[in-house]
Structure 1
């Protein structure tokens, strides 16, 4: 599906200029100091939700019958997991699968998305051997003592 982008203020000033775009695209409304908004027709939204729900539930069924295969499928879809150490890779895939199954059951996929972002960030850290080594410690302590700020006189 294509998208078209408009400023939020353009939409507020003249919605009749923006809304016809929904015939063949989803609309992204860009806001300066807030998260962008997306406008879409309800039919397209429901189709997406239904597709995700069916795919997540199908993977959940597969996981109940053959968990190793479900984990393999998920890991193959997320090639960045190769940067994780083997034990963390297994933990990552299992954790994401649990979140996906719960999301399929409840319709709430935001926890899955957050876990996916967190694990991807962890994998990126592991991709840099020097950074990964530094973050594993040992740590020398709390660091140097910082002097108390002096109160400014008025």
Structure 2
């Protein structure tokens, strides 16, 4: 799908100059100090949402029946999965797919995006043997002892 970009101020000054672009493209409205906005026709929005729901559920069904194949498929799209220990890959795939299916169903994909970023950061740490080794412990002690605070007004 083609995308055209306009300044948000241009849209405010003359929407009739921007809206015809929606016939052939989605429109990004760039704002200076805020997140950009996207305009699209509802038919394209609904088609995208429907396609995402079907793809997410299909992949989740595949993962349920053949977890190794689902992991292999996702590793092609997310090559950093290779850096995770084998014991963590299945958990990663299950969590990402659960968030993706829930997000596709509700339209709330930010939890999926956050979890994806979190797992990627985890994989990046595992890719460097020194911090990976350090994060596995053992850890020196439990730290200083902290006493429970006294109730207010107690001596």
Q: Secondary structure at the match of 2:29?
A: strand
Give the count of matched residue pairs: 142
1:57 CA drift (Å) = 1.1
Segment drifting more, 6-15 vs 86-95 = 86-95
Q: Is the 8 A contact 1:21 1:27 kept in 2?
A: yes
Aligned counterpart, 1:48:
48
1:111-150 aligned at under 5 Å gives the runs 111-130=111-130, 132=132
Runs of 4 or more consecutive aligned structure 1 residues displaced over 6 Å after TM superposition:
139-142
Unpaired runs of 5+ residues, structure 1, are: 143-154
Q: State yes or no: 1:39 paired with 2:39.
A: yes
Structure 1 pair 15–59 and aligned structure 2 pair: CA distance change class (3 A): same
CA 1:135–1:13: 2 relative to 1, 3 Å? farther
Q: Structure 2: how far apart are the matches of 1:88 and 1:39?
A: 39
Q: Under a length normalisation based on structure 2, what TM-score does the superposition of the two structures give?
A: 0.75
Q: 1:108: which partner in 2?
A: 108
Post-superposition offset of 1:32: 1.4
Change (3 A) 1:12 1:131: farther
Structure 1 residues 21 and 10 mapped into 2: Cα distance closer, same or farther (>3 Å)? Answer: same
Q: Given the alignment of the two structures, is residue 90 of structure 1 paired with residue 90 of structure 2, yes or no?
A: yes
Q: 2-side partners of 1:42 and 1:11: how far apart?
A: 19
Q: Is 2:5 the counterpart of 1:5?
A: yes
Q: TM-score, normalised by structure 1?
A: 0.76
Deviation at 1:15, TM superposition (A): 0.7
Question: 1:83-142 deviations in whole A, cap 9, x for unaligned?
Answer: 223333333222212222333444433211221122122223333445555666757999
Instruction: State the alpha-carbon separation in 2 of the partners of residues 44 and 63 from structure 1.
Output: 28
Q: CA deviation at 1:36?
A: 0.8
Unaligned runs of 5+ in 2: 144-155
